[in-house]
Amino acid sequence: MPNENKILLRQLNPLLDLSFSNVSIDHEGYHATAAWPVNILALVLEDGGGNYYENLTGNQRLPILADHVYLIPCGLRMRFEESPPRTVISLHFNLTFLQGFDIFSSVARCEARRDPALVARIRALLDEPDELKAVCALKMEVMRFCLSCWPENLRRPTPALQRKYEPLFRFVREHGDASLTVGALAAMAGQRPNVFSRNFSRDIGKAPKDLLQGDLLKKVAARLLAPGASVKQVAEELKFCSEFYLSRFFKKRTGLSPSDYQRRFRHRCCG
């Protein structure tokens, strides 16, 4: 391997992260229109009997079929029409670069394919008694699937821009909450807010407001699924003015209220 490629690998490696926010096995029906802040890898164990996933963003209707795997990218407006009997394993994950934007955040199409071997492997991993081994193996399976449908023309900042913005992305990831503003990020960068917003959008391809709202949405979604967490507690932890503002923020971006999201996923988490 040429030396310049080795240097590039060392630079990129710490900037790429795959993390799970929920793993569930669902036997119940589900009928809703929503847009998730996470990617969903859905593995169907039983035919859906005419049920489907409809991608309203990319104009796709995907029948729910046994031994099929579906990748639903984050941010797509989806209609879920699922009725029992059927069993679906759902892996909620984000694959982020520069610790800010998801690799699949600009993808408008779902991926669907028949892969009984992958369904069987992931089903077996959920029964693995060594939890650390199971998480490592699940990450490997998910990453392999992501590589098989890697987005074309993925925009990637130059190494210089990576070094420039990495501390800012790290700060947002570690300290971001509802009180963090674009103005605060601009102050960290030593720039006026309008100049910072213009430069950031030019360099990264998205506005800094999108970074803050995307990070906050993922944190809200993850904390809502924590055992025993209430909407009020999550609002206080992430410094929303009130439970009402958190609910309005979450529903505007996902189509579901926080309590509906909790009812849908929290009691079905594997663990």
Stretch 163-188: mean pLDDT, rounded? 92
Give the pLDDT confidence of 89-100 residue by residue, as tens digits: 999 999 987 666
pTM of structure: 0.84
Q: State in words which class domain 159-268 has.
A: mainly alpha
Q: State in words which class domain 11-148 has.
A: mainly beta
**Lowest model confidence (mean pLDDT) among 26-35, 101-110, 231-240, 243-252:** 26-35
Amino acid at 111: E
CA 115 vs. chain centroid, Å, equals 22
Beta strands in 35-114 (DSSP E): 39-44, 52-55, 60-63, 68-72, 78-82, 88-97, 101-102, 111-114
Give the pLDDT confidence of 241-251 residue by residue, as tens digits: 999 999 999 99
238 confidence band (pLDDT: 50, 70, 90): very high
In sequence order, the 6+-apart residues with CB closer than 8 A to the CB of 116 are 67
Residue 99, pLDDT score = 60
Amino acid at 147: L
In sequence order, the 6+-apart residues with CB closer than 8 A to the CB of 85 are 27, 46, 49
Residue 271, pLDDT score = 43
Does residue 32 have a pLDDT over 90? no
Spatial distance between the Cα atoms of 89 and 176, rounded to a whole number of angstroms? 31
Q: Where are the domains of the chain?
A: 11-148, 159-268
Spatial distance between the Cα atoms of 13 and 1, rounded to a whole number of angstroms? 16
Amino acid at 28: E
Instruction: Return the percent helix, strand and coil in the chain, to nearest 5.
Output: 45, 20, 35
Residue 132 CB neighbours (<10 A): 8
Residue 248, pLDDT score = 97
